Amino acid sequence: MTATLLHRPRSQRSALLAAALCALACDAPPAALTRGPTSGWPEYGADKGGSRYARADQISRENVEHLEVAWEYHTGDYDDGSTGLAPSTFQNTPILHDGMLYLCTPFNNVIALDAETGVERWRHDLQVDSSQFYSPACRGVSFWRDEAAEPGAACRRRVISGTLDARLIALDASTGRPCPEFGVAGSVDLAEGIGDRQPGEYGVTSPPAIVSDLIVTGAMVLDNRRVDAPGGVIRAFDARSGELRWAWDPVAPGKRPKVGGDVAYQRGTTNAWSMLSADPELGLVYVPTGNTSPDYFGGHRDGGDYYSSSVVALDVETGKVRWHFQTTHHDVWDYDLPAQPVLFSYPGPEGDVPALAQATKTGLLFLLDRRDGTPIFPVEERPVPGGALDGDFVAETQPFPTKPAPLHPLEPLRPEDAFGFTLYDRGKCREAIEAARSEGLYTPPSLQGSVHFPGMMGGVNWGSLAVDSKRDILVVNTTRTATTVRMIPRDEITPKQKASKYGFEPAEGTPYAVERRPLLSPFGAPCNPPPWGTLTGIDIESGEHIWQTPLGTTRDMAPWPLWLDTGTPNQGGPIVTASGLVFIAATTDNFLRAFDTRSGEELWRGRLPAGGQATPMTYRLTPEGRQYVVIAAGGHGVLGTRVGDSVVAFALPAP
């Protein structure tokens, strides 16, 4: 080397010497592995059971710090709030099939991208009138392959998407054109049989479940609008023709549905707006249900919330209920089940048990035998606060799993617990807590105002959880921010409250309207003490927490130097890889992070161009190719994160 250097010009000798020294001493990025297992992401949650687990292992503990942006794509379809609507939220997780990524935008553009380069291959605008919707979202699309069709036939491979305005669409996966034999010109009207609906009140925001050549879907129904809201029917459609195969109307056993005219499904019933899961071997679809309308008053329900806030297992061929497990009785807290039920194997003493993990807004995590709904760990009925509103009641007890331990504090938020950056805002938080009823989890709504902690966001929300089946670890993120809920007698509602765009909800048909808001200080920080967001690892076999760490910092929501590791409210979920990594964004700071699955140690963070309120996904197309981690970075209007339209792919440097 020395002889070679001496025969070069001085400038070249200096540069080569520097390079040689760096090769010996610098921490140069390692080249991507030459070969390794391929890994796909064919479903929203990686598989039909929503495990969010990937076999890809090229990115590891040892090299994750060298991740870089491989490509970035802009959808061009978002609303920053300048139109007068709430800013849009980009909650999408793409799916991967045949080298293509398929995704949907907040306003229902369906897009296909080349998975290696991020180059757009086609786009189909589903022509939704965006002016009707508050904070529009589309979390994902689904995919179906017609095994009976000839290879290469049009619409043999289909992208299935629901829409904000209640349609079910089938598109050719190769071209993006509608499949003409599906419904009418590629579209099924989900409003059929629902009855009247107000603008933006009923639509699909989550990807349908695909099982046994059926498309199974629920729908989103806006909270707290009226008693007689559209019903929460779950329906299965033939994936070829779009023909209705079955419908489950969530009416209590022994009750006859109240239908007639253009109403085929009882109105005001519990709905399932989140992701469903399926076990094709057991022939079951698992449905996480929400509240019976409206959320905070149930005096009119007359047993109509029998299936509310429950995991319901439906027979995939008939739609009949095989079992159900209720996580909150007579729910008047908006503690609907927002998270996809996650299927996994529990290592029992007599062999593996097919199990299901249901995360909840309460921060309680229920592990069930998915064959019959029997709890893996004992569940106890424990007394909870009483004192309901006039005309309503609350259950005397609620179910609490003995394991795993709660992901969220259950104790009452006391005035002395108030948080603040200064004496001033801490004092204001203390006054707000003192003025409200605060008796811990399941404090009933009240006229004076009640502290709900966890609040309407959770706990755990639609990001659900991930299962590392190689290490038998569950990973789940949690928000810890309190909400105040005040019930307003109908004759006391003011014109100013009626005109409010956020925080006031009419709950028509009940004696009360609802005023609900995050419990924040004058400076915008939560009044409860941090951490305001956490990430937790749980040993599956024992049910014990093995680690917990704050998730997120105050960066992007507070000026420097107030960038604190307090954890933040979060929307979105984690994924896990075979190499022992957890990837998650979700927080109010604009980062995608990687954690060690066994220890919870943060190993890397990558800057995002906007809020990452989505669940990432990962894949590797060929044994010689790179592993990509992809996230939608488009923000969340309600959380107040930066809005945008980016899809960002990270990978190790190319060799």
What are the pLDDT digits (tens) for 307-352?
A: 999 999 999 999 999 999 999 999 999 999 999 999 999 999 989 9
497: helix, coil or strand? Answer: helix
* CA 613 from centre of chain: 9
Host H or E run for residue 20: helix 10-25
* CA distances for 370 relative to 27, 281, 282, 325, 342, angstroms: 48, 12, 9, 10, 10
92-189 to CATH, choices 2.40.10.480, 3.30.70.100, 3.40.718.10, 2.60.40.10: 2.40.10.480
376: helix, coil or strand? Answer: coil
Paired tokens of 29:
């990025």
pLDDT at site 25: 40
Chain-wide mean pLDDT for the chain? 93
53-54 and 575-577 strand pairing: parallel
Residue 14 has pLDDT above 70, yes or no: no
What is the pTM (predicted TM-score) of this model? 0.94
| Residue spans per domain, the chain | 92-189
Catalytic annotation, residues: 334
Backbone angles phi, psi at 204, to 5 degrees: -115, 125
Burial 517-537 (b: 16+ CB within 10 A, else e): ebbbbeeebbbbebbbbbbbb
Alpha-carbon radius of gyration of the chain: 25
pLDDT at site 18: 41
Residue 298 has pLDDT above 60, yes or no: yes
* CA 246 from centre of chain: 26
Q: Output the 3-class SS for 384-452.
A: CCCCCCCCCCCCCEEEEECCCCCCCCCCCCCHHHCCCCCHHHHHHHHHHHHHCECCCCCCCCECCCEEE
> Where are any strands of DSSP class E within 520-636?
533-539, 545-550, 575-577, 581-584, 591-596, 602-607, 617-620, 627-633
Residue-wise pLDDT for 559-599, tens only, equals 877 789 999 999 999 999 999 999 999 999 999 999 999 99
Residues 118/649, Cβ–Cβ less than 8 Å:
yes
Residue 2 has pLDDT above 80, yes or no: no
Residues 111/103, Cβ–Cβ less than 8 Å:
yes
Tracing tokens 């933006």 back to the chain, one arrives at: 200
Sheet holding 591-596, edge to edge: 53-54, 575-577, 581-584, 591-596, 602-607
Backbone angles phi, psi at 69, to 5 degrees: -70, 120
pLDDT at site 392: 97
